[in-house]
Amino acid sequence: MNHPNPQPPNSDKEDTSAPKFEWDFLVSAVVSSPVTGGHVSDTLGVIEVNSSGTLFATGGIARKIRIYNLHSLPPLIDHATACQHCICTPAKLSSLKWKPGSAGKIMGSADYDGVVTEYDLETKMPVFERDEHSGRRVWSLDYSSMDPAVGASGSDDGTMQIWDPRHDAGKCVAKVHFGSPVCCVEFSPFGGALVAVGCADRKAYVYDVRKMVDPVAVFDGHQRTVSYARFLDDRTVVTSGTDGCLKMWDIEDQRLIRTYTGHTNQRRFVGLSVWRHQGLIGCGSESNKVFVYDKRWGEPIWVHGFEPEDGTRSEHGFVSSICWSQVVDDECTLVGGGSDGVVKIFSGKRKLLTD
């Protein structure tokens, strides 16, 4: 999917030693593509794990929302067998979110036709729809942790819109015009009033939804489009750019804490997800690899090639979507999806370190 200097606090000081490989990762399951060798029509644009860490959903070019059980998959299985629910959608999908407070029954989606839709997963029918982005591609949507009915979406039309289905059939309750495509929106998951925005103008922004006139923080450091912005904690944001690096920022001081390099990203969405319990950052790469960074070091602590298990390899393959399960503290689960439609589930455990 293509798209357009004070010292840090002690907890965030750069450790000049080599990254410590404190985690063991292994591939626990592979969901194979329905087409041998993969095809552009199988490209996954988004993966989302639910809040309980039991299910994950995928969406992308194939115009389908597929839902899987995260912990009952055999080591190798195909999509048709593994998929528990499948919803056909009218357009290619760019973003999915489990709606908070819906007991896992409502899934929000954003698509290439500029439409935000909420689906009832039991009936597989839409229960809410808004088309307020002038038909321009919606890259991202998210829901507020303060009020789960409230959503935000960012689009190629250059706006970030906040909306409420209870208010005038989902019309905007707030809108920010950036003048460049908006690639990412994320509400703070820590119960506050903040929302982060990644933009094609090479900047990321943080707004207080109670006062949207001006941003509370502007992060200006990427050389190209900011494709993702994720809250690591209540005062720290991680951004990803098509300049091939990730950056961690302090919201209060609006300063750069650290830059992460090693993966390849120049043209496409490759996914970004943070495991907040232990400060791990996952992203994809146009080199068809999964990268994991520890927030303390700028170099990756783990890299895994994403070639299919049968050995076939696409010359132009890339890892296009990444999502951590947020449930357990000392064990982790990372789900990754590729441009060939393959999904891999990685399990990680903390090592017993000895000097």
SS3 41: helix
SS3 168: helix
**For residue 10, what pLDDT is reported?**
39
* Strand arrangement, sheet containing 125-130: 93-98, 106-111, 116-120, 125-130
CATH code that applies to domain 132-260: 2.130.10.10
Check if the beta carbon of residue 136 is closer than 8 Å to that of residue 157.
yes
Which structure tokens are listed for 172?
């905007």
- Which of 117, 143, 111 minimizes the C-alpha distance to 129? 117
Check if the beta carbon of residue 260 is closer than 8 Å to that of residue 246.
yes
Which structure tokens are listed for 98?
């489990």
The neighbour count for residue 102, using CB atoms within 10 Å, is: 17
**For residue 79, what pLDDT is reported?**
86
**For residue 12, what pLDDT is reported?**
55
**For residue 167, what pLDDT is reported?**
85
Q: How many helices (H) and strands (E) does the chain have?
A: 1, 29
Handedness of CA 210, 212, 217, 221 (dihedral sign): positive
Q: Nearest 5°: CA angle at 220, between 219 and 221?
A: 115
List beta partners, residue 249: 237, 256
**For residue 308, what pLDDT is reported?**
61
Check if the beta carbon of residue 3 is closer than 8 Å to that of residue 183.
yes
Check if the beta carbon of residue 296 is closer than 8 Å to that of residue 18.
no
Check if the beta carbon of residue 237 is closer than 8 Å to that of residue 251.
yes
Burial class of 216 by CB neighbour count within 10 A (0 to 12, 13 to 18, 19+): middle
What DSSP character marks residue 80?
H
**For residue 170, what pLDDT is reported?**
79
Check if the beta carbon of residue 59 is closer than 8 Å to that of residue 44.
yes
- Return d(Cα 350, Cα 46) in angstroms, integer: 27
Q: Nearest 5°: CA angle at 317, between 311 and 318?
A: 120
The two most distant CA atoms of the chain are separated, in Å, by 62
Q: Helix, strand, coil shares of the chain as percentages rounded to 5?
A: 5, 50, 45
**For residue 2, what pLDDT is reported?**
54
Domain boundaries, the chain: 132-260
- Return d(Cα 318, Cα 286) in angstroms, integer: 4
- In order along its 355 residues, the chain shows pLDDT tens digits of 555 433 334 345 555 567 777 899 999 999 987 554 445 578 999 999 999 999 999 999 999 999 999 988 999 999 889 999 999 999 999 999 999 999 999 999 999 999 999 999 999 999 999 999 999 999 999 999 999 999 999 999 999 999 999 888 778 999 999 999 999 999 999 988 999 999 999 999 999 999 999 999 999 999 999 999 999 999 999 999 999 999 999 999 999 999 999 999 999 999 999 999 899 999 999 999 999 999 999 999 999 998 765 555 566 799 999 999 987 777 899 999 999 999 999 999 988 765 5
